[in-house]
Chains A and B, each alone.
Chain A
Amino acid sequence: MNMVLREPNAEMLRRKAAELRGRVVLMSHQAQSAHLASSLSCCDVLAAAYWHALRIEPSKPNDPTRDRFILSKGHAAMAIYTTLAFRGFFPVEKLDTYNQDGGQLAEHPPANLLPGIEAATGSLGHGLPIGCGIALSGRINKAQPYRVYALLSDGECNEGSVWEAAMFAAAQKLENLCVIVDYNKWQATARSNETLQLAPLREKWESFGWDAIEIDGHDVGLLAKLLSNIPNGSGKPVAIVAHTVKGKGVSFMEDDNNWHYRAPTAAEVEAAHKELGLI
């Protein structure tokens, strides 16, 4: 596959990630919605993907040659909605309808309703098998040199279907498939590694036949480079184990798992926006 690797504009990507975070915090407050901290931990991945790596055209959301991004950790819906809106898939005003009666933006991404949402998620462990199918269909259909990305949470890696898919992808050498694990060390109610033993996570992916790399999941420049470099020439699917901080970007939310369920007050939104450099 011919690849044009552009040098990422890390400063621009950092700014985008901060803007995403700001809007997500506001949405959580307006809708009194959970999963804020999980949404904040993956904003750098989303910025790197949507403003650098993904070959997508928001005006043509169903273009068969587009790269696919599946938010397998569907509870971070606020983050993907904000990303898609800011990237031009639908009007930004639509974000105000999040979790409102009659809207299209439920607390988990819906099927067949919103441009840019490749798969409905929310039940964990589904995004990677679907991603395998889309990646494999590119080979069967031929001449569709797109890439498929699946963003997983570390808690999601509890699900057996993740590892079923991991073994399938390796056996089939799905080199156009990339997993990013948002490794924020928490799941809904406890530390992820203490719930089910996840460590050593990079080695797990490697032992399943993947190329795996462990990075700082808030280094947008590095994320952008890695996500652009799929396939990487090894003939294997690629797993990026991205070490992140749950609640990243807002000091009083960082690594505090109460923000898995809590929604911020208006004063907390203002404090967060100040920290993010938005006001």
Chain B
Amino acid sequence: MRNAFADELTKLGMDDPRVVMLSGDIGNKLFDKFRAAQPDRFFNCGVAEANMTGLAAGLAMNGLRPFTYTITPFVTTRCLEQIRTDVCYHDVPVTIVAVGAGLAYAGLGPTHHACEDIAFLRALPNMKVICPGDQWEVRAAIRAVAKQDKPAYIRMGKKGEPTIHKGPLVDFEIGKAITISEGDEICLLSTGNMLAEAVEAAKMLGDAGRSTRVVSFHTVKPLDEACLEEALARFKLVVTIEEHSLIGGFGSAVAEWAIDNGQDTRKLMRVGTPDAFFKRSGEQEYAREQLGLTGHQIAHRIMERLA
């Protein structure tokens, strides 16, 4: 996803002279093309995320479209107050771009895990929270935020995620979920880098005779309420899937909406990370297995729930 981001942002920078790239001393060579094309609009802000975020707000106040970028905890939690006060309170078009969502950097340890950021950022007024499911959604999300005039958060995996969509998404809209495959009985709502696991889970459920729809719910805020309403009316079970804590994330957002809108919450099931730091060493796949987040495990849990 990060290579897609750098590539798409380089193209966007050519089209839109307002685009400014701010990096927190990360992305060795990743932004070389952007920097070569727009030397006056790329800044390595150093290991100083609070200033990078306030700086971005100042740039945006004066008509520019800054993107801030580094590893998820540092571009979100580290400078949360700057995001809240400088970006969201002023309601200026800064896009916060995070790499390494959830357990993408599992091997680097809990300092680099990011399973609370959706909770923090979706609580902020004016902020849109976008969690693309593959590289094509990343590219479309970058284009979509550039067309609006508001703060945005784009939460990416890292590199090498499976590509789910076949090509560019011409109809991508912030706040409008994308159906990946159809089904009748179970509806999987996946956000962010869990999309491939959701697709795998659906395949296994299908093989077991359970017709399953997969939706890439790339925007956590604002929620696609029409999609949720239809899913809860039609399906026997609606499952939220995310690589984020069950506290305050996508599943929480859906559950809150369901309660506030008189929906049948008994149909809801949430899959996410527990309220704990994952302290073992190991890569993302290992961490997912330990936490029950692989496609196979998700399918198994759903079968148990329906049994």
A residues adjacent to B (C-beta < 8 A):
64, 111-112, 118-120, 123, 125-126, 128-141, 144, 160-161, 164-165, 167-168, 171-172
Which among A112, A125, A138 is the interface contact of B62 at CB below 8 angstroms?
A138
**Bound CA–CA A88/B66 (angstroms):** 33
Among A111, A128, A141, A172, point to the contact of B89 (Cβ < 8 A): A111
Given A125-B50, A129-B82, A129-B86: A168 and B62 interface contact (C-beta under 8 Å)? no
Residue B258, interface by CB 8 Å: no
| Complex CA–CA separation, A120 to B56 (angstroms) | 15
CB distance from B214 to the nearest CB of A (A): 41
Residues of A with C-beta under 8 A to B53: 129
Contact of B55 with A168 in the complex, beta carbons under 8 Å? yes
Q: A120-B89, A161-B82 are in contact. Are A137 and B51 (CB under 8 A)?
A: no
Question: By the criterion CB–CB under 8 Å, are B40 and A133 in contact?
Answer: no
Q: Which residue of A lies closest to B64 (CB)?
A: A137
Question: Is the C-beta of B292 less than 8 angstroms from some C-beta in chain A?
Answer: no
Report which residue of B46, B48, B54 has the largest number of chain A beta carbons within 10 angstroms of its beta carbon: B54
- Residue-wise, chain B 83-111 has the 8 Å CB interface mask toward A (1 for contact) of 00110011100000000000000000000
A165 CA to B43 CA, complexed, in Å: 13
Q: Select from chain B the residue with minimum beta-carbon distance to A135.
A: B58
| B binding-site residues for A, Cβ under 8 Å | 20, 40-41, 43, 45-46, 48, 50-64, 66, 81-82, 85-86, 89-91
A sample of 8 inter-chain contacts (CB < 8 A) reads A111-B91, A133-B59, A133-B62, A133-B66, A136-B43, A141-B63, A161-B51, A164-B46
Q: Are B90 and A129 in contact (CB under 8 A)?
A: no
Q: Which residues of the partner chain B approach A161 to less than 8 Å between Cβ atoms?
A: 48, 50-51, 54, 82
Checking A112, A118, A125, A132 against B91 with a beta-carbon cut-off of 8 angstroms, the contacting residue is A112
A237–chain B nearest beta-carbon distance, Å: 13
**CB pair B54 A132 closer than 8 Å:** yes
Q: Are A132 and B41 in contact (CB under 8 A)?
A: no
Residues of B within 8 A of A132 (CB): 51, 54-55, 58
A108 to chain B, nearest CB (A): 10
Interchain CB contact under 8 A, B48 and A167: yes
Q: How far is the CB of A258 from chain B (nearest CB, A)?
A: 29
Q: Could you tell me the distance between the alpha carbons of A223 and B46 in the complex, rounded to whole angstroms?
A: 33
Complex Cα distance A112/B89, Å? 9
Say whether B55 contacts A165, CB under 8 Å.
yes
How far is A136 from B63 in the complex, measured between Cα atoms in Å?
12
Q: Nearest 4 pairs between A and B by C-beta?
A: A133-B58, A129-B54, A164-B51, A164-B48
Chain A residue contacts of B46, Cβ below 8 A = 164, 167-168, 171
Please state if B85 and A165 are interface contacts (CB–CB under 8 Å).
no
On whether A137 and B48 interact (CB within 8 A), knowing A126-B54, A161-B82, the answer reads no
With A111-B91, A167-B46, A168-B51 as known contacts, state yes or no: A131 contacts B58, CB within 8 Å: yes
- Select which of B40, B45, B86 is within 8 A of A130 by beta carbon: B86
Contact B59 A111 (CB under 8 A): no
- C-alpha spacing A139/B249, complex, angstroms: 39
Distance from B157 Cβ to chain A, minimum over Cβ atoms (Å): 28
Q: Take A123-B81, A167-B48 as given contacts and tell me if A140 and B41 are in contact as well, using a CB distance cutoff of 8 Å.
A: yes
Chain B neighbourhood of A125, CB < 8 A: 50
Contact B55 A133 (CB under 8 A): yes
Residue with the highest number of chain B CB atoms closer than 10 Å, among A129, A138, A160 = A129
Which residue on B lies nearest to A132, using beta carbons?
B55
Asked whether B50 lies within 8 Å of A134 as measured between CB atoms, the reply is no
| B residues in contact with A144, CB < 8 Å | 62
CA distance A138 to B86 in the complex (A): 19
Given that A130-B61, A132-B54, A133-B57 are known contacts, is A140 also in contact with B81, CB under 8 Å in the complex?
A: no
Q: Is the CB of B90 within 8 A of A119?
A: yes
CB distance from A65 to the nearest CB of B (A): 11
State A20–B89 Cα separation when bound (angstroms): 28
Identify B56's interface contact among A133, A139, A165, CB under 8 A: A133
| Contact B58–A130 (Cβ < 8 Å) | yes
Contact A126 B62 (CB under 8 A): no
Told that A129-B86, A165-B54 touch, could you supply 7 new A-B pairs with CB distance under 8 A?
A64-B62, A112-B91, A123-B85, A129-B55, A133-B62, A134-B58, A137-B58
CB contacts (< 8 Å) of A130 on chain B: these are 54-55, 57-58, 61, 86
Instruction: Check A168–B48 contact: CB distance below 8 A.
Output: yes
Bound Cα distance A111, B61 (Å): 11
A71 smallest CB distance to B (angstroms) = 14
